[in-house]
Structure 1
Amino acid sequence: MAEVTTNSRRILIAMDGSKHATNAFVWFMEHFYKDGDTLIIVYCAELGANLPPIAQLANPGVVPIMIAEHDEEVQKVLKNIDDIVKQYNVKYSVERLHEPAGESIVLAAKDHNIDIIVSGSRGMGVVRRTILGSVSDYIVHHAHVPVLVCKYSDQQ
């Protein structure tokens, strides 16, 4: 009996609203996308980047304001992602992940039985990447599937 095969691939695309992630998505769509691909867009909102100085946290009224501002920013990013993807008239789903981003993306790839992960690269230097870490670097070293990292260049 012949085995039935499909050409459908399950693609996880990590997007954070940055020009690097947008560039990776556009490159993927223009060079790699095939009809029938299932696109799962994941977004990991980084709360730590928006924390106020520690002195402000002593005021209990600051925390609800912080949360509201963070949620508003997340909604803007999700709308931006939605607008970008809709330009290509493809079926997709968006999933919000939690920090740490690299670990969440790798786990989501396993959970969704992904065939390949697509990510942008911020192009950090060696020192910054060593100190801060790199989401794309983490994904490359820990993913169970191939990873496509698209480097963004302002000179393009």
Structure 2
Amino acid sequence: MGLKYHNILVAVDGSKEADWAFKKGIEIAKRNSATLILVHVIDTRSFALVEAYDTVIGERAEKLAKDMLENYQKLAVEAGLPKVHYEIDFGSPKVRIPRDLAKKHNVDLIICGATGMNMVERIFIGSVSEHITRYAPCDVLVVRTEKDVE
């Protein structure tokens, strides 16, 4: 792997921590002349019961994700990154990001925001960032603060 990153995946979900991760990802990608891959995984488990009543919820979630990722992509290009891609995926973010998407894109760094969950929520739901850290095949940067984010 060496000291230089080539393919950096930034997991975004619309949270302020994801925004901080995105901004740090831009700077790291610029320093490494790396490709930035923006990823949003629509957690299908969270609306499985609702979808039985509202069949368009998946389409709405995908449209919102696409709008968000296109905005992030535009900002990254405006910041000077020539190689920026995005991908929308479905399933469990804790599984899809470290096990599938990281391998698919030959990622050598994953950047994600820390969760704002409390201890009880982490026990029942499980932290996505914690799971990514545990199962990723590459380096992981978990962004907890906006320190050094301009």
Bucket of the pairwise TM-score, normalised by the shorter protein: 0.7 to 0.9
SS for the counterpart of 1:34 is helix
- Equivalent residues of 1:47, 1:70 under 8 A apart: no
**How far did residue 93 of structure 1 move?**
0.9
**How far did residue 119 of structure 1 move?**
0.7
**2:22 corresponds to which of 15, 25, 48:** 25
Aligned equivalent of 2:97: 105
The reply on whether 1:74 has 2:98 as its aligned counterpart is no
**2:122 corresponds to which of 101, 106, 129:** 129
Deviations 1:82-116 (A, max 9, x none): 23323312021111122111211112112222111
- Equivalent residues of 2:10, 2:110 under 8 A apart: yes
Q: Distance in 2 between matches of 1:7 and 1:147?
A: 14
Q: Distance in 2 between matches of 1:8 and 1:146?
A: 10
Aligned equivalent of 1:144: 137
Aligned equivalent of 2:10: 13
Cα RMSD after superposing both structures: 2.8
Aligned equivalent of 1:41: 38
**How far did residue 50 of structure 1 move?**
5.2
Aligned equivalent of 1:86: 77
Q: Letter of the 1:20 partner, please give it.
A: E
Deviations 1:128-154 (A, max 9, x none): 11111111010001112111000146x
Q: Distance in 1 between matches of 2:115 and 2:103?
A: 24
- Equivalent residues of 1:10, 1:38 under 8 A apart: yes
Q: Distance in 1 between matches of 2:37 and 2:138?
A: 15
Q: Which residues of structure 2 form unaligned runs of 5+?
A: none
- Equivalent residues of 1:20, 1:152 under 8 A apart: yes
With over 3 angstroms needed to count, the CA separation of the structure-2 counterparts of 1:53 and 1:112, relative to structure 1, is: closer
Q: Letter of the 1:19 partner, please give it.
A: K
What is the TM-score when the length of structure 2 is the normalising length?
A: 0.78
- Equivalent residues of 1:15, 1:81 under 8 A apart: no
With over 3 angstroms needed to count, the CA separation of the structure-2 counterparts of 1:125 and 1:94, relative to structure 1, is: same
- Equivalent residues of 2:112, 2:142 under 8 A apart: yes
Q: Which residues of structure 1 form unaligned runs of 5+?
A: none
Q: Letter of the 2:17 partner, please give it.
A: H
Choose 1 or 2 for highest CA Rg: 1
